Amino acid sequence: MNLMTRLLRSGLIAVALWIGASSVQADEALLTVQVGETEHRFTLAQLELLPVTSFETSTIWTVGSHRFTGVSLADLAAHLGIVTGELLATAINDYHITIPLEDAVTPGPIIAYEIDGEPMPRREKGPLWIVYPYDMIPAYQTETIYSRSIWQLVRLDVQ
């Protein structure tokens, strides 16, 4: 194989990996929630079937105010029958943080899957991002809450 062919093949592989890393397949499980011995896997379509919550807020990671849409932690907990414990949230890069179930209130954090009406690609903190209504409730403007605002969320373990 000559040098030009190898470079072309490498470039095509890189493009394919980039496309795969920035888009979400319809049947791809985006979120796994472990409750005791039971594992629940949610696709984007399944998350969208749960009650929808939207709010507008600014964040310390974005410019200006944005409209975030997703499922609230309160609605997800109710859907799965979670009433006590903590949520160990894990991101694609293995960053993890514990979120007390007391945060699962209304109004409170959502697992956002849209920003300004558009899905969030992985390169833009998606496809799932735990976002609190920072502007609505000043108590959410703390380092502790910011640390719980995990993006590229892939897993929640109830502890």
End-to-end CA distance of the chain: 54
Return all residues near 121 (Cβ < 8 A) that are at least 6 apart. 22, 23, 24, 127
78: part of which helix (H) or strand (E)? helix 73-80
Domains of the chain: 26-158 (3.90.420.10)
Global pTM exceeds 0.85 = no
Q: How far is the CA of 85 from the CAs of 79, 82, 128, in angstroms?
A: 15, 8, 22
What's residue 1's pLDDT? 57
CB 112 within 8 A of CB 131: yes
Q: Of the candidates 56, 63, 73, 148, which has an alpha carbon nearest to the alpha carbon of residue 111?
A: 73
What are the tens digits of pLDDT across the range 107-126?
999 999 999 999 999 998 99
Return all residues near 1 (Cβ < 8 A) that are at least 6 apart. 9
Within its chain, how far is the Cα of 134 from the centroid?
Answer: 16
With cut-offs at 50, 70 and 90, classify the pLDDT of residue 20.
very low
